[in-house]
Amino acid sequence: MALPAPVPFDLESSLATLHEASFGWARSCCGGDADEGADVLQTAYAKLIAGQAVFAGRSSFRTWLFGVIRLTALETRRKRTRDLSAPEWTEAHSVEPMAVVQLEEAEQTATLQAALVQLPDRQREVVHLVFYQGLSVAEAADVMELSVGSARVHYDRAKKRLRALLEPHFREDR
């Protein structure tokens, strides 16, 4: 008896469904910079289309996609750090203030961004994945390629740090 034909994986529609969340994650991985986040997301899409990263179904598609975006952002950041010595880069991309300035329209968002910027990368990533993307700590650990225990430690430290940074603001909310 013949096996049923495998259902073709529709990459485009899967990416379209997660596009906004993916952009938010890419932006977060780029320190809140929207333009750089968009570049990273496009490069990640190109990788998927070119078959440089292939979904094997070992985790959820979203978790896997976020892992690809994170690695792409890390590559971009490494490349940018390496190219910092090149004069044409510094002229073309003169260092701009963080995206906090762009988010002045929403004070709450700006405050959060300012607090997030002060967190180490791992802590910022885990907080974003849990509170923004709604992932569990275990799923966040999968995206970040960490053990659940390590992710839990980063999560607890991030919350402790955020409490110290945001306490004056959420006390006012009462």
Which residues bind to other proteins, rule: CB under 8 A?
12, 15-16, 19-20, 23-24, 27, 34, 38, 41-43, 45-50, 52, 79, 82, 103, 105-106, 108-109, 111-113, 127-128, 131-132, 159, 162-163, 166-167, 169-170, 173-174
Q: Which is nearer to other proteins, 120 or 147 (CB)?
A: 120
- SS3 string, 67-128, reads HHHHHHHHHHHHHHHHHCCCHHHHHHCCCCCCCCHHHCCCHHHHHHHHHHHCCCHHHHHHHH
Distance CA 149, CA 52 (A): 30
Q: Which is nearer to other proteins, 40 or 146 (CB)?
A: 40
**Rounded to the nearest whole angstrom, what is the least distance from the CB of residue 2 to other proteins in the complex?**
34
| DSSP 8-state secondary structure symbol assigned to residue 132 | I
Q: Which is nearer to other proteins, 23 or 61 (CB)?
A: 23
**3-state secondary structure (DSSP) of residue 13:** helix
- Reading the block at residue 149, the tokens are 């225990």
**Rounded to the nearest whole angstrom, what is the least distance from the CB of residue 114 to other proteins in the complex?**
11
* CA distances, 6 to each of 16, 52, 64 (Å): 22, 21, 20
Q: Which is nearer to other proteins, 48 or 143 (CB)?
A: 48
**Rounded to the nearest whole angstrom, what is the least distance from the CB of residue 1 to other proteins in the complex?**
38
**Rounded to the nearest whole angstrom, what is the least distance from the CB of residue 63 to other proteins in the complex?**
18
Residue 27 makes CB contacts below 8 A (sequence gap 6+) with 33, 34, 36, 37, 38, 99
Q: Which is nearer to other proteins, 61 or 132 (CB)?
A: 132
**Rounded to the nearest whole angstrom, what is the least distance from the CB of residue 38 to other proteins in the complex?**
5
